[in-house]
Amino acid sequence: MKQRPIYLDNHATTRCDPRVVEAMLPFFTQEYGNSSSPHHLYGRNASEAVDAARESVARLIGAKSREIIFTSGATESNQLALCGVMRANRMRGDHLITSATEHKSVLDTAKRLEREGFKVTMLPVDAYGDVDPQLVEAAITNRTILVSLMAANNEVGTLLRMREIGKICRQRGVWFHSDAVQMAGKMPVDVEAMQLDLVSLSAHKIYGPKGVGALYVRRPEVRLEPMLIGGGQERGMRSGTVAVPLVVGFGVACQLCADDDPAEMARRRDLLETLIVDELDGVTRHGHPTRRLPNNLNLGFAWVNGSALLINLRGVAVSNGSACTSSETGPSYVLKAMGVEDEEANASLRFGLGRFTTDEEIPRAAIEVVETVNRLRALSPAYEMHRFARSRI
């Protein structure tokens, strides 16, 4: 049987851990009760399982279980956080602050809020994709309700200075929301230490099932207008039958994150980078050199067509940006915001290592990347001109 590609697209989604699947299975066929039906055994068992999962999700970020609202995923969580807070607090103000490199579910929601009459400040990022905390402070006005900034960028892995930003927001009386999808479960997220008021999470980024996420909402401080009504589930903040099997899987996935070793993940990532960079010239790493996710590597390859690179890289499963923008043409908006030229941004790859990435796969992946880049460069007039110019120095 033909060998499958090495999977290095764990920022897009992760393999569901077999232990998660095992925990979920009984809730499809045996404990299939509705968690909102506490008057019989089936409903009580389902309700208790949801409560246990809620506690596990809360523990992952240092929250209280009553502050966790289950959703269909981080996109819904982000939209609920932004729309829910801004609409519920119109009497306090009308101003939202976010950044140019946020996930599309935040950026598109911000645009929707602008159409509703809210004011939105889009903060720039530096060459590493970092947001200066002083820019956040300078942007806050007496009409600001919410600051929404991604804890770790999903394309280049840069970690924002969350504690500094959280302190500023708390001192200025502004709520602080973070899409922590890429950071949670890989690096510590502490809602108290970071002074976070809302946090979006997703199960399928931490080896759980697709279709379930969560929103942390600090209680009782944060006022939130629900977007789904008609049943009163999730304390009235998100109506609809709770997906018990998925929620159970989410809870177990959160528990298993404690067993992962970020240092070991970073070691594999650094090895992959070294093996590629040592064999190729014209390679640029995007993102912060030290303050970044342990499993992220974003590299730009000069003198290569980006589309051709992805198509020809058949032995390694990677992407050139967010999975949520894969249907869009053109260079990554994140890299463009960082000042990367279009040509280089088009020829950039995002490598996302994961729990199931092995030591044996790293050199194999590096060889595949090096061989593919060299093969394409051999057909590139631009690379031939570069070689000619270099030979005359």
Specify if 284 maps to a domain: yes
- Kindly indicate the confidence band of residue 3, based on its pLDDT and cuts at 50, 70 and 90: confident
Structure tokens at 40: 């019989």
**d(Cα 266, Cα 15) in Å, to the nearest integer?**
19
Active-site residue numbers? 324
- pLDDT above 70 for 327: no
Residue pair 292/129 in contact (Cβ under 8 Å)? The answer is: no
Indicate whether 127 and 34 sit together in one domain: yes
Report, as an integer, the average pLDDT of 217-229: 92
Q: Calculate ∠ Cα 45-48-49, nearest 5°.
A: 85
Q: What is the DSSP string of 90-134?
A: TTT--EEEEETTS-HHHHHHHHHHHHTT-EEEEE---TTS---HH
Q: 299 and 244: one domain?
A: no
Question: End of a domain among 258, 273, 300?
Answer: 258
Please write the tens of the pLDDT for every residue from 340-386.
Answer: 998 888 899 999 999 999 999 999 999 999 999 999 999 887 787 77
**pLDDT band at 208; cut points 50, 70, 90:** very high
* Beta-bridge mates of residue 365: none
**What number is the average pLDDT over the span 272-289?**
97
Q: Name the band, by pLDDT with cuts 50, 70 and 90, for residue 264.
A: very high
Cβ–Cβ contacts within 10 Å for residue 262, how many? 13
**Confidence at residue 196, expressed as pLDDT on a 0 to 100 scale:** 98
Question: 285 with 336, same domain?
Answer: yes
CATH number of the domain bearing residue 377: 3.90.1150.10
Residues 375 and 288 in one domain: yes
Portion of the chain with pLDDT greater than 70, in percent: 96
User: Contact, 97 vs 146, CB < 8 A?
Assistant: yes
Domain stop point among 196, 227, 258 = 258
Nearest to 199 by CA among 57, 294, 317: 57
Tell me the residue range of the domain where 351 lies.
Answer: 6-13+260-391
Tell whether the model's pLDDT for residue 10 goes beyond 60: yes
CA atoms 229, 234, 238, 241: torsion sign:
negative
Position 371 scores a pLDDT of 97
